[in-house]
Amino acid sequence: MQNKERKQVETLTKIYTAVVFVIIGVLIGRLAWLQLVEKDFYTSRADAQRNRLMTIPATRGDIISSDGVVLVTDRPSYQLTVDYLSLKNDDGSYNEDMIQLLTTLLADAELTAEKIKEICDANSGYLYKPIVLKKNLDIATVSRIEARRNDLPGVSIESSPERTYLQGTLASHVLGYIGEISQSELDAQNASEEEQDYTYKMGDYVGKVGLEKSYDTVLRGKDGYRQVEVNAGGRPVSDVKIVEPEAGNSLVLTIDSNLQRALEEAMDTTIASLQKQSRSDKAGAGAGVLLNVKTGEVLAMASRPDDNVGQQNRAIQGRYIPGSTFKPVTAIAALETGVVTDTERIYNPGRYWIAPYIKTTAPVGYYDLYRGMAKSDNVYFQELGRRAGIDNIAKYGKALGLDGATGIDLAYENKGERATEGLPTPEKRQMYQDMAAASSDALWDKKIAEAEAQYEIDIAAATTDEERKKVERRHKNNLAVLKSEKAINHKWNSEWHAADTFNVSIGQGRQNYTPIQLAVYTAAIANGGTVYQPYVVKQVLNHAGEVVQTNEPVVRQEAGISETTLNKVRTAMCQVTKSGGGAYSLFANFPSDIEVAAKTGTAQPGQGGYHVGKKEYYDGVFIAFAPADDPEVAFACVMEYGYSGAGSAGRVAKAVLEEYFGLNQ
């Protein structure tokens, strides 16, 4: 090389050396930024993806009937999970061979290769969270997959408890069901200021309705967890810490499985036969409750329909007009206030003599308390209601537990708080009247506004002064009429009318109760006036089977009704099942030492039943207690579209009482 050239090379290599050091310097600078400045950030990310808390679900407690039959339990179930990346090739496409193998092993017609990809794509947001492909694997599938373990990296089989209802749909409305917690449930928890036994988190399975909900914190136990180190495939490499789960407590119910089955079967057969009759062909829904009158224990509770888990438990959520089953309240109110004696005879001319002259189906003639109750004479009870007055009827209805919630230990009891619900107490009546008056006002205000609008149009259309005067005059008259109509209607809707009292006296009109309320009220008549808080759970057992909690009967209130009055009413209710009574045929075969006291009801929801075309439908209602001389159980049942009380709900009562007293063997 020439000297000049060598000089140039020297210069250029020196420049290049400088470039090298600049580049290496930049790399070291970047290294320093990541490793020195941002170290904590990246370390926390590394820890977060390396350490994983894996929940070990606690076994949920069993629910056991009072006679020891397990109704609900947790059984282990296997689920197949895959981790997203292990199903993928390096270029991001799916590993078809592996998916093919999976579909072959799972042998599930619904879980096609396309379906698997769809599920995976939907879950690709959480890269290392295992994706559940299939739940409830049978043991044969589990062993098939385990045998091909090595060909299926990233696929694993996890065991988790699965809620199992051992007696099918028996008591399904009482038991309820569980499901993944919803966003609104989480929000409700977070918004609540009450202290909670358990803080729910995303992904938890919680009771949605029934006992599963109301006793959720008792049943659920405490989830354990494994803190594990995982690799990129999400597979655990080593356990850091294990906290074992604590199994949930079990519930022993007050419900007897045999009574429950008898109740449900009776409802199903009754519904089936009602559906065959034209007058009750829309039957299909209803509810029944059997109570221990001395404790408030629920011995059986059923609701129909029950073909779908989401259906409401009508025994505590359905509100029904009681029909004649309310007449004992009217009788008690009249007897207690002294406006009538049990032997006073009141003449029934076929319909009541005061407007709206409500008819009766009872034959014309004289009626005392016993005949009145047996024949369910509407005239007799309207007269009693008139004499006692609505306030007294409401007072004794309230005393017998017909106002507000019963406080049963099941979720979502209908508390009857709305103006159109429950017992017509003074407060409730005021609420209703305010509402009715307001809506009537609104209706007439609308009419007035329409009239004003019409006037504007007419006056604009009028061409001569004469026409204008005519329009003005007409409008003025029109307004005067509307305003007075508004005032009249406002007044009418703001007042309680005599006819309203007559309707309430015979169990119609503005009142409605849940079947559980009717049962509690019947039990109170039976037991001498004690209103118990009904309950379904007798005991709570821990995992070892030891009793950790026993629910004692809770007296909500004493009705404060004299024993003589109650005796008379009980005797009157006994007449219902005797020769000449409305439910005679039902209990004719009962032995003489097991006398049944009862009352039938035919309820007319709205005004005069449900109208479908020309057809009229009625709800069948029935209340009963037995044995009449020393009551043990009380029963209430409503069959929607049952037409008559004795012919629908009464038949259910008969079957349940037969089971209770062992008369069906």
> Distance between CA 352 and CA 368 in Å, rounded?
16
- Of the candidate residues 3, 36, 546, 593, the single one contacting other proteins (CB under 8 A): 36
Question: Among 33-41, 360-368, 539-547, 602-610, which window interacts with other proteins (CB under 8 A)?
Answer: 33-41
Q: Do the Cβ atoms of 155 and 81 come closer than 8 Å?
A: yes
DSSP state of 248: P
Q: What are the backbone dihedrals phi and psi of residue 393, each rounded to the nearest 5 degrees, phi first?
A: -60, -45
Q: What angle do CA 478, 482, 483 make, to 5 degrees?
A: 115
- Does 35 contact other proteins by CB under 8 A? yes
Residue (14 or 359) nearer to other proteins, CB:
14
53 binding other proteins? (CB under 8 A): no
Q: How far is the CB of 96 from other proteins (least distance, A)?
A: 17
- Contact between 17 and other proteins (CB under 8 A)? yes
Residue 220 Cβ vs other proteins, minimum distance, rounded to whole Å: 34
**Residues 6 or more apart in contact with residue 595 via CB below 8 angstroms:** 574, 577, 626, 627, 628, 629
Q: Is residue 482 within 8 Å of 455, Cβ to Cβ?
A: no
Cα–Cα dist 79/157, whole Å: 6
Binding segment for other proteins (CB under 8 A), chosen from 44-52, 581-589, 607-615, 651-659, is 44-52
- How far is residue 170's CA from residue 494's CA, in Å, rounded to a whole number? 47
State how far the Cα of 192 lies from the Cα of 181, in Å rounded to an integer: 16
SS3 category, 589: coil
Which residue's CB is nearer to other proteins, number 21 or number 366?
A: 21
Query: CA separation (Å) from 147 to 97, 150, 235, 315?
Result: 17, 8, 18, 51
Binding mask 307-346 for other proteins (x = CB under 8 A): ----------------------------------------
Question: Minimum distance from CB of 238 to other proteins (Å)?
Answer: 10
User: Cα-atom radius of gyration of the chain, to the nearest Å?
Assistant: 37
Q: Which of 153, 179, 233, 245 binds other proteins (CB under 8 A)?
A: 233
Cis check for the bond before 328: say yes or no (omega within 30 of 0).
Answer: no
Question: Which one among 70, 77, 86, 88 touches other proteins, defined by CB under 8 A?
Answer: 88
Residues 311, 210: Cα–Cα separation, whole Å: 11
Is 127 one of the binding residues for other proteins (CB under 8 A)? yes
150 touches other proteins (CB under 8 A): no
Applying CB under 8 A, the span of 140-148, 226-234, 490-498, 639-647 interacting with other proteins comes to: 226-234
What is d(CA 38, CA 543) in angstroms, rounded to the nearest whole number? Answer: 50
Phi-psi region of 514 (alpha: psi -120 to 50; beta: other; left: phi over 0): beta
Q: Does 229 bind other proteins (CB under 8 A)?
A: yes
Closer CB to other proteins, 155 or 583, in the complex? 155
Q: Is 45 in the site for other proteins (CB under 8 A)?
A: yes
Closest by alpha carbon to 567, among 342, 316, 359? 342
Least distance to other proteins from the beta carbon of 14, Å? Answer: 8
Binding flag, residue 477, other proteins (CB under 8 A): no
The answer to the question of residue 227 lying near other proteins (CB under 8 A) is no
Among 119, 230, 448, 479, binds other proteins (CB under 8 A): 230
Which CB sits closer to other proteins, 240 or 339? 240
SS3 readout for 111-167 = CCHHHHHHHHHHCCCCCCCCEEEEEEECHHHHHHHHHCHHHCCCEEEEEEEEEEECC
Closest C-alpha among 63, 67, 62 to residue 659: 67
Among 54, 85, 435, 437, which residue interacts with other proteins (rule: CB under 8 A)?
85
C-alpha 204, offset from chain centre: 20
**Smallest separation, CB 83 to other proteins (Å):** 12
Tell me: does residue 347 bind other proteins (CB under 8 A). Answer: no
CB closer to other proteins, 85 vs 186: 85
Of 53, 56, 147, 237, which one interacts with other proteins (CB under 8 A)? Answer: 237
Q: Could you tell me the two tokens for 192?
A: 């609540």
Query: How far from chain centre, in Å, is Cα 537?
Result: 17
5 sits near other proteins (criterion: CB under 8 A): yes
* 612 binding other proteins? (CB under 8 A): no
Nearer to other proteins, 20 or 355 (CB): 20
Q: What are the backbone angles phi and psi of residue 283, rounded to the nearest 5°? A: -60, 160
Q: Binder to other proteins among 100, 104, 112, 124 (CB under 8 A)?
A: 124
Q: Pick out residues in 526-585 that bind other proteins (CB under 8 A).
A: none
Q: Does 121 bind other proteins (CB under 8 A)?
A: no
Closer to other proteins at the Cβ: 35 or 562? 35
- Give just the sign of the alpha carbon dihedral 121, 124, 125, 131: positive
When binding is defined by CB under 8 A, the residue of 20, 107, 272, 555 that contacts other proteins is 20
CA atoms of 433 and 494, how far apart (whole Å): 5
Nearer to other proteins, 50 or 351 (CB): 50
104 near other proteins (CB under 8 A): no
591-to-221, 576, 626, 627 alpha-carbon distances in Å: 48, 16, 12, 10
Give the pair of three-digit tokens for residue 579. Answer: 């020769």
Closest approach, Cβ 157 to other proteins, in A, equals 22
Residue type, 429: R
CB 111, min distance to other proteins, A: 23
Q: Which is nearer to other proteins, 37 or 544 (CB)?
A: 37
Determine if 366 is a binding residue for other proteins (CB under 8 A).
no
Using the rule CB under 8 A, is 43 a contact of other proteins? yes
Q: Strand 615-617 to strand 610-612: parallel, antiparallel, or no bridges (unpaired)?
A: antiparallel
Q: Does the protein bind other proteins through residue 13 (CB under 8 A)?
A: yes
Least distance from other proteins to the Cβ atom of residue 263, Å: 57
Judged by the rule CB under 8 A, the positions of this chain that interact with other proteins are: 1, 5, 8-10, 12-17, 20-21, 23-24, 26-28, 30-32, 34-36, 38-39, 41-43, 45-47, 49-50, 84-85, 88, 90-92, 124, 127, 229-233, 237
